[in-house]
Structures are given as structure tokens and as C-alpha cells.
Amino acid sequence: MYKYEGICCCECGRELKDQETIYIGGDEYICEDCRNAYYDCCEDCGKLVPDGDIIAVDDNNRFVCEDCSNDYYACDHCGGLFSDCYLAVNTVPLTLCDYCYGYHYFTCADCGEVYYHEDGEYVDDCCYCRDCADNYRNCILPYSAKPSPMFLGEGVGYYGLELENRQRRR
């Protein structure tokens, strides 16, 4: 003869009554105690997810399932998942969260591109990339600089050595 077996919790094995049964998919059910101890709800879709499969997003302010985590952007510096409101930069080549941008990157004041802090130079209280900094720098030229000569006046130029003499006063 067929013997009826009640529904048991797949986590603790306790036999479940109708009022405390929570269906988690397939032929699996859990009790209320195991649900509170081992499961969380996805904050986006409401799906019940085992604690080990829940993913923290938005700087650990939200917790979502793996399916919903695909709707978030990965920061290229720290690898965390973030929604639009937590992103400082979201361009085709680079995605940065607010924290990583603030502590590790800057936007060039001239060209508007985003660079790593080590690739920037401060000139007159503004941060520029190395290429743009040259346009704003008013400083002494390095020893290796070779300026182009400028000839003033018209006609043939005379070249020669200029000598300066000091005469003694008598």
C-alpha cells in the first residue's frame, strides 16, 4: 500500500503543516524558521533566494538575486555593482562608482576626459591631463628645450660673436 508522507522542509527535514509551508521551487519547501535563517528576498523582484546566492549592490545598500544583478553596472575600478544613481562616470570605455571616481580619478578641466590621478597635473588650481597641462603651464623651459630663433628687422642679418669689454677707469 501507498503510504502518504507529509511535506518536509528541505533544509531541516521537519514535517510541515500548511500554514508554515513556503514553496521555493521544484518539489522543495521550507519552514518559516529556515526561511528566516537561510533565505532572503531579492529587493528588485521579490524572489526568495538562499543567503549564499544573494548579491550586494549599490555599496551594500541593496541585495538582489543573480538574475536582477544583470541590470546593474560594474565599476571598472572596484568591480562592485551599482545602479545609475551611484555612478559618477558611465561612458563606453569607462564605468566608475562615486567612491572610486572621487578617490582615484579626475576629469581634465580642458578636454573633459576622465583619467587616473597619477596621470594628471595641477596647474593654477585646476587638474589637467598631461597633454592639456602643457597649454596652461607658464614656467621656465627645461634645459633641453630649443626655441626657434626670431629675427627682427629687414634685410640681411649679420651673424657674429658679440664681445663685451670692461675698461679700467684711470
Domain map of the chain by residue range?
1-41
pLDDT digits (tens, 9 = 90+) for 31-56: 888 888 888 889 999 888 888 899 99
Is the pLDDT higher at 92 or at 162?
A: 92
**Are 127 and 120 in contact, with CB atoms under 8 Å apart?**
yes
Mean pLDDT of the chain: 82
- Least Cα distance to 64 among 80, 49, 83 occurs for 49
Centroid of chain to Cα 93: 11
pLDDT digits (tens, 9 = 90+) for 97-151: 999 999 999 999 999 899 998 888 888 888 899 888 888 776 666 677 787 777 6
Is the pLDDT reported for residue 3 higher than 60? no
**Are 107 and 101 in contact, with CB atoms under 8 Å apart?**
no
- For residue 64, give the H/E element and its range: strand 62-64
Count of Cβ atoms closer than 10 Å to residue 69 Cβ: 17
Residues 6+ away with beta carbon under 8 Å from 168: none
What percent of the chain shows pLDDT beyond 70?
A: 84
Helix, strand or coil, per DSSP, at residue 161: coil
CA angle 117–120–126, rounded 5-degree value: 105
Is the pLDDT higher at 36 or at 72?
A: 72
In total, the chain counts a number of residues equal to 170
**Are 72 and 82 in contact, with CB atoms under 8 Å apart?**
yes
What is the rounded (10 degree) CA torsion for 124, 129, 134, 138? Answer: 10
